[in-house]
Structure 1
Amino acid sequence: MENFPSIQNILNDFINHMEERQPISASDLPNIDLYMDQVTTFMNSHLEHSKRYPEDKILTKTMINNYAKSRLLPPPDKKKYSKDHMLLLIFIYYFKNILSITDIQKLLTPMTRRYFQNEDGTDMSWLYSHIMGQEPLQAKRIGEDIRRLSEDALNIFPDADAGDQEYLQLLSMVALLSCDVYMKKQLIEKLIDSFDFPENETDEKKKR
């Protein structure tokens, strides 16, 4: 038990960081079009906090090219990427950690068709700001859930040997968090599967 506070400190530090961290705002993005190198530099700088290891890459040229080939990302204009491209890349970055490319394509294709470079006021910045504006509240809710879960993990093995307590509490915490992520991932997939997405452009072209 004496080493358990080290685990608890990690949780508290993570929760505090999560609640204090502000998401990238649409207003943080440049209002000028950027070349690919500028895009990757911006993304790697502003999302550096999410790296596990210092050498990890947030976004690379290869990733961007693959997103374009998968029709996740509209082609750049004269090799320059707009603010809408940047906002779409942020969505892709968060979703790719949970969803397959196929599911991301299903989910984002209607958004791209409707809001990408739209000029009637309901554009990508409008959409992004409404969704990301909920992130601070969601971070607080998740922090509360993690604290409750950590209390449960602490009490799973109350009678275990003192020398095993730290490992068993770590194992319990990881197992409960994994169960949470697994069930939420399944729910996300069911939500995507239940929605009647418009046919993609390739299918539409085949019918013409």
Structure 2
Amino acid sequence: MTKDILNIMENLNLDKKINLEDIPEIDLYMDQVIQLFENKLSVLKRKEEDKVLTKTMINNYAKAKLLMSIKNKKYSKEHLILMSLIYDLKGALSINDIKLTLDNIVKKYENNEEYDLRALYKTYLDMNSQDVNEFKEYMNDKEENVKNLLSENNINGDFEEKFLLVGSMISMSNMYRRMGETLIDEYFMGDEK
């Protein structure tokens, strides 16, 4: 992998997540929740002025029933886990798709049923860590593949290499998103089909 791509990948902070131990066991007020997310995830913002989480976002998540009911204007560890999942999912999915994906969890909490969201989230983070490693390997291979394809087609140029690399990333992103949407339709749509 070229130094340029390696530096870009390092600056992406792909492994930066809110871990279970980052979330206190005590319930937090909205401002404390926002502060926690900003402190832990601000390195993931594309632009400095972007916000990781706002009061409006949290209120919209609550209205859309992406979160279980909030008690005394305080948010539990489970609320924050869901907000972290929403943060990850909203990069590729619509709010409606996120609702379909999380609805089973939220309903269990609303019905006071036992559900170990912490174990699911820990497993999600473990899976994400594996995904990051696989992505780094993929990027290394992809960069080589682009160079080989350019050579095979007698195309020489820095612009062309960068264009094809970006095009490939966008194409792969679209395929993964479409597959995710199709799985949501298949697994979580239920009676709404």
TM-score grouping bracket, smaller chain normalisation: 0.7 to 0.9
CA contact (8 A) 1:19 1:140 kept: no
User: Pick from 152, 163, 174: which aligns with 1:182?
Assistant: 174
Residue 50, structure 1, aligned to residue 44, structure 2: yes
How many angstroms does 1:118 deviate by?
Answer: 6.3
User: Which deviates the most, 148-157 or 100-109?
Assistant: 148-157
Within 1, Cα distance between the matches of 2:171 and 2:117?
A: 33
Q: Which residue is equivalent to 1:204? A: none
Structure 1 length-normalised TM:
0.81
Gaps of 5+ in 1: 201-208
Q: Which residue is equivalent to 2:108? A: 114
C-alpha RMSD of the superposition: 2.4
Gaps of 5+ in 2: none
Q: Which residue is equivalent to 2:72? A: 78
The residue type equivalent to 1:154 in the other structure is K
User: Pick from 182, 185, 188: which aligns with 1:193?
Assistant: 185
How many angstroms does 1:75 deviate by?
Answer: 3.0
Structure exhibiting the larger radius of gyration computed from Cα positions: 1
User: Pick from 115, 139, 144: which aligns with 1:151?
Assistant: 144
Residue 138, structure 1, aligned to residue 131, structure 2: yes
Q: Which residue is equivalent to 2:93? A: 99
CA contact (8 A) 2:34 2:54 kept: yes
Higher relative contact order (CA 8 A, sep 6+): 1
How many angstroms does 1:112 deviate by?
Answer: 1.8
Q: Which residue is equivalent to 1:203? A: none
Q: Paired residues, what number? A: 190
User: Pick from 33, 50, 56: which aligns with 1:39?
Assistant: 33
CA contact (8 A) 2:13 2:44 kept: no
CA contact (8 A) 2:100 2:188 kept: no
User: Which deviates the most, 22-31 or 167-176?
Assistant: 22-31
How many angstroms does 1:116 deviate by?
Answer: 7.3
User: Which deviates the most, 187-196 or 60-69?
Assistant: 187-196
Q: 1:70 and 1:185, CA in 2 relative to 1: closer, same or farther beyond 3 A?
A: same
How many angstroms does 1:196 deviate by?
Answer: 4.8
Q: Percent identity?
A: 32
The residue type equivalent to 2:24 in the other structure is P
The runs of at least 4 aligned residues of structure 1 exceeding 4 Å deviation read 16-20, 115-120, 196-200
Q: 1:20 and 1:173, CA in 2 relative to 1: closer, same or farther beyond 3 A?
A: closer
Q: 1:196 and 1:127, CA in 2 relative to 1: closer, same or farther beyond 3 A?
A: closer
